[in-house]
Amino acid sequence: MRRLFLIAVPYIWLLALFLVPFAIVLKIALSDIALAIPPYTPTLDLSEGWAGIRAFLSGLDFENFVFLTTDDLYWRAYLSSLKIAAVATVITLLIGYPIAYAMARAAPEWRPTLLMLVILPFWTSFLIRVYSWMGILSSEGVLNQFLMALGLIDTPLQILSTNTAVYIGIVYTYLPFMILPIYATLEKMDDSLLEAAEDLGCSRLEAFWLVTIPLSKGGIIAGCFLVFIPTIGEFVIPSLLGGSDTLMIGKVLWEEFFSNRDWPVASAVAIILLMILIVPIVLFQRNEQKAREAEG
Amino acid sequence: MTAKLMTGAAALALVAGSALAQEVRVYNWSDYIDEDLLTEFEEETGIDLIYDVFDSNEVLETKMLAGSSGYDVVVPSGTFLQRQIQAGAFQKLDKSKLPNLDNMWDVVAERTATYDPGNEYSINYMWGTTGIGVNVGKVQELLGEDAPISSWDLVFDPANMEKLASCGVHFLDAPAEMIPAALNYIGENPDSHDPDVIAKAGDVFEKVRPHIQKFHSSEYINALANGDICVAVGWSGDILQARDRAAEAGNGVEIAYNAPDEGAQMWFDQMAIPTDAPNPEAAHTFLNFIMEAENMAQASNYVYYANGNKAAQAHLNEDVIGDPAIYPSEAALDNLFTTTPYPPRVQRTVTRLWTEIKSGV
């Protein structure tokens, strides 16, 4: 009984916060656009009971999903989001790993302070931090002023409103999500393994490559997924830092929803996005489970 | 004990009820009012005013169409207002509660009646034009003394745009304003709903696209004032605010606004009360307060937009009423055009074209 109760809690949570919203979005994706409040006609009328459901099933056409295949905008936007997310994840890993490594190698009494410094930015609103990047990167901004004062450049660099700015924003924002899981695995690592590797003839670099990296694999994978998954659907960073030609699915979704007022098509876009995200999420879950089994 | 609790709850409900009645939630465009007016309203009426802002009609419209926005007064532009009235988003005004309606200006009311027949659902707040703001010094430096700053040639002629690109050009991210401007520039009907005609606007943008730094509907105010950019296609009052901010900052940036000679779009921002407004009574009080001649004049003096209030004109500063960029002459008024809302299918064509213009996809 107690066991049942324990299992029920996460399932109710999933049901209320994932399955029900998903069902609502799916229902909108299968309806038609209309000039009304809300701006779509319900094709599923539950008040009519079975007759309503039967009418809904017989009239079921996936026209909004079919529509997405008629215009190459959508798959281009999905691909472009995947690319931006992948590149940003790699950059974040390249920057985050050395930081996590240095933190784990630091004297134990320093580690809590270093950890604090990584978490500290979360105390400021995410939006304000992205806005500060606008101030840093704009053509009259801090960075350009600084470089021009040093005489390194004559004309301001155009960074804001480009994909470069989007990458900077994403890497900056998600860096802690990469550092923390890697740090967690590195900190637990047994130093005697490294000594053993060196005793057995490894150079320090070889020992790092053959021992440290494999042992921190769990943290690397966790960090990569924590960065990659939210980045695909990112909307705020590309719309504030990106240029008009930054194509990401979050922006396309916004256009469908706000400019076209086409909630059914917007919902269809969202459902496809979810389908795309399910693959890495399932892989992530499996990785976590394996790690747990290995520990247990 | 139970009885005591009950009375307590009833009293609480009463307090909550009266507290609700003493509150009005207004959702208006950003940088669009003298904030002193907000405190004046609270002092004069004793009603708590909650004031939120937005910077695109699309955001407002989505809130309206989703319903239960919680706002009592919102400010859509003409074409958006028309569509939202059709969707049933607004309630008819109770004109008996709006004695200041007598102050309104028939010249504007005639035009807004296109969107809201009989002005049954809305009052005009401000109106203006969509034109071009320039950093005079920088533009003349790049294009010479006789730079065509009062012509659409400045931003639609690739030869000019190529030279201007280095100092930064922003366009409004508002297809319903930009596409009519381009159609008007090539001699087509700016209010065309024919997809083939609309597609021609795409060609105009395609030629100048490489030289446009950004499409955005509010950043250009500060960007122009700081000297970050030198040309912006934008809304009249916003650019005039940029002019004043630059003058206040004393950074040597001189901004000028022109509604181009070939013709420019005239638009109207209308205050309306949502159907499900929690406090329609207080909303009417707010509308009536805004239509008070002195108040409306104070708002215009601050934001540099013309208003639809005849009585307010006596209280306007000379640099507002006397500025043809704000209050165009009779002849210039004839040169301005208005547009009507796109039907859903055409809207999709327009949005798609706009995405293509912006992202090249």
The alpha carbon of residue A240 is apart from the nearest alpha carbon of chain B, in Å, by: 10
pLDDT band at B17 (very low <50, low <70, confident <90, very high): very low
Q: Tell me if A255 and B355 make a contact (CB, 8 A cut-off).
A: yes
Cα B311-B286-B28 angle, rounded to 5 deg: 95
Q: Could you say which of B83, B86, B228 has the minimum Cβ distance to residue A138?
A: B228
* pLDDT digits 0-9 by tens, A227-267: 999 999 999 999 899 887 788 999 899 989 988 889 999 99
Least confident of A7-21, A163-177, B15-29, B78-92: B15-29
Over residues A47-55, mean pLDDT: 75
Tokens of B333: 């008024």
* pLDDT digits 0-9 by tens, B290-339: 999 999 999 999 999 999 999 999 999 999 999 988 999 888 888 899 99
* pLDDT digits 0-9 by tens, A201-230: 889 899 899 999 999 999 999 999 999 999
Over residues B9-26, mean pLDDT: 60
Over residues A166-179, mean pLDDT: 97
Q: Is pLDDT above 80 for A273? A: yes
The alpha carbon of residue B92 is apart from the nearest alpha carbon of chain A, in Å, by: 17
pLDDT at A133: 95
Q: How far apart are CA B295 and CA B359, in angstroms?
A: 43
Q: Tell me if A140 and B66 make a contact (CB, 8 A cut-off).
A: no
Over residues B262-267, mean pLDDT: 94
Q: Which residues on neighbouring strands pair with residue B215, listed in sequence order?
A: B171
This prediction has a pTM of 0.81
Whether complex ipTM tops 0.90: no
pLDDT at B43: 95
B interface residues, A as partner, C-beta within 8 Å: 56, 58-59, 61-62, 64-67, 83, 86-89, 166, 168, 173, 175, 212-215, 226-228, 275, 344, 347-348, 351-352, 354-356, 358-361
For chain B, what are the domain ranges? Answer: 2-127+269-328, 129-266+339-359
Cα distances (angstroms) measured from residue A38 to each of A20, B63, B82:
18, 10, 17
Considering chain B, what is the average pLDDT of its residues? Answer: 91
CA B18 to chain centroid, in Å, comes to: 33
More confidently predicted of A224 and A33: A224
Q: Is pLDDT above 50 for B5? A: no
Q: How far apart are CA A159 and CA A150, in angstroms?
A: 18
A interface residues, B as partner, C-beta within 8 Å: 33, 35-39, 71-73, 76-77, 138-140, 155, 158, 161, 243-247, 252, 255, 257-262
Cα distances (angstroms) measured from residue A100 to each of A105, A179, A224, B290:
9, 5, 14, 58
Can you give the three-state secondary structure of B215-232, one letter per residue? ECCCHHHHHHHHCCCCEE
pLDDT at B305: 93
pLDDT at B65: 92
Q: Is pLDDT above 70 for B4? A: no
Considering chain A, what is the average pLDDT of its residues? Answer: 89
Cα distances (angstroms) measured from residue A207 to each of A195, A203, B135:
9, 6, 61
Tokens of B338: 């208005």
Over residues A156-171, mean pLDDT: 92
Q: Could you say which of B67, B166, B344 has the minimum Cβ distance to residue A38?
A: B67
pLDDT band at B2 (very low <50, low <70, confident <90, very high): very low
pLDDT band at B20 (very low <50, low <70, confident <90, very high): very low
Q: Say whether A20 sits in a helix, a strand or coil.
A: helix
Share of chain B above pLDDT 90, in %: 80
pLDDT at A230: 93
More confidently predicted of B181 and B55: B181
Instruction: List CB contacts (< 8 A) between B168 and chain A.
Output: 139
Please identify, in words, the CATH class of the domain defined by B2-127+269-328: alpha beta
Q: Tell me if A37 and B87 make a contact (CB, 8 A cut-off).
A: yes
Q: Tell me if A72 and B227 make a contact (CB, 8 A cut-off).
A: no
Q: Tell me if A243 and B213 make a contact (CB, 8 A cut-off).
A: yes
* pLDDT digits 0-9 by tens, B335-354: 899 999 998 889 889 999 99
Q: How far apart are CA B144 and CA A264, in angstroms?
A: 51
pLDDT at B163: 95
The alpha carbon of residue B215 is apart from the nearest alpha carbon of chain A, in Å, by: 6
CB under 8 A, 24+ apart: contacts of B187-193: B190/B263, B190/B265, B190/B337, B190/B339, B191/B337, B191/B338, B191/B339, B191/B340, B193/B340, B193/B342, B193/B343, B193/B346
Over residues B266-295, mean pLDDT: 96
More confidently predicted of B17 and A39: A39
pLDDT at A296: 60
Q: Could you say which of A38, A158, A255 has the minimum Cβ distance to residue B66?
A: A38
Options 1.10.3720.10, 3.60.150.10, 3.40.50.720, 3.30.70.141; CATH for A64-295 is 1.10.3720.10
Tell me if B270 sits within 8 A of B124, measured CB to CB. Answer: yes
The alpha carbon of residue B91 is apart from the nearest alpha carbon of chain A, in Å, by: 14
For chain A, what are the domain ranges? Answer: 64-295
Share of chain A above pLDDT 70, in %: 98
Q: Is pLDDT above 50 for A157? A: yes
Instruction: Identify the architecture of domain B129-266+339-359 in CATH.
Output: 3-Layer(aba) Sandwich (3.40)
Q: Could you say which of B83, B214, B359 has the minimum Cβ distance to residue A247?
A: B359
pLDDT at B190: 95
Residue in A closest to B90 by C-alpha = A37
Tell me if A100 sits within 8 A of A154, measured CB to CB. Answer: no
Over residues B104-120, mean pLDDT: 94
